[in-house]
Amino acid sequence: MERDKHFILGVYDDEDVLLHAVKDVRSSGVKIHEVYSPYPVHGLDEELGYKRSRLPIAAFLFGLLGTSLALTMQFYMMKFDWPMIIGGKDYAAFPDFIPVTFEMTVLLASFGMVGVFMVTSNLKPWAKPRIFDLRSTDDKHIMAIDIANNSSMEQDKIREVLRSSGASEVNDKSFDE
């Protein structure tokens, strides 16, 4: 059966070997498709040249939305829509509005950020992920090299680069899509 997507996989056993390997592989001119790990490896995103995640900005903006929604709601309901004297306080008893404002800020910041995370990382119950190697969620780090992106280089040369960078195995994997 003819398949469309062809990858060369480097399998690494150790996170420190992997970090050096990413540097070596990139400096030898091979473009890395992605690295799959069973746990977060610190510094890997920098070695791969990824830009810092902008999720904190999303969280901040959603939090700001939560703050303004909560304050608007409380001032509208308590001061304008149905003003009532409660405990001899001003209709707009601002200090009393702080707890609900805080909670709404946290709620919207969290849910907004997680929502953005789900969308950008394509996380959904019906998602069919491309699994390069089942061991990548157990104990191996898998470096995937897309052959189509490295057409200028011999495939054997790529395999040689992976092997000399410390990969314990070098495999091939193809996908239909």
Partner 1 sequence: MQVTSSVREPLVTGGKTYHDVTHDVSRQVEGKPSIAWFLAFLTSAGVLALGFIALAATLWEGIGMWGLNKTIGWAWDITNFVWWVGIGHAGTLISAVLLLFRQKWRTSINRAAEAMTIFAVICAAMFPVIHMGRPWLGAYWALPLPNTFGSLWVNFNSPLLWDVFAISTYFSVSLVFWYIGLIPDFATIRDRATGLRKTIYGALSFGWDGAAKSWMRYESVSLILAGLATPLVLSVHTIVSFDFATSVIPGWHTTIFPPYFVAGAIFSGFAMVLTLMIITRKVFKLEDYITMGHIELMNIVIIITGSIVGIAYITEFFIAWYSGVEAEQYAFINRATGPYWWAYWSMMTCNVISPQLFWIKKIRTSIIATFILSLVVNIGMWFERFVIIVTSLHRDYLPSSWAMFYPTWADIGVYLFTFGLFFTLFFLFAKFFPVINMAEVKSVLKSSSEKVAK
Q: Enumerate binding residues for partner 1 (CB under 8 A).
A: 13-16, 34-41, 44-45, 48, 50, 53, 55-56, 59, 63, 73-74, 77-78, 81-82, 84, 86-87, 89, 93, 96-97, 99-100, 102-104, 106-107, 109-111, 113-114, 117-118, 120-131, 134-139
Query: Between 40 and 176, whose beta carbon lies closer to partner 1?
Result: 40
How many residues would you count in the chain?
177
Our CB check for partner 1 shows the closer of 1 and 134 to be 134
In the bound complex, what is the minimum distance in angstroms from residue 154's beta carbon to partner 1? 26
Distances (CA, A) of 168 to 35, 89, 98, 156, 173: 15, 72, 57, 16, 16
Which residues, 6+ apart, have CB-to-CB distance to 82 below 8 Å?
none
Q: Which of 3, 50, 2, 61 is nearest to 22 (CA)?
A: 50
By C-beta, is 137 or 149 nearer to partner 1? Answer: 137
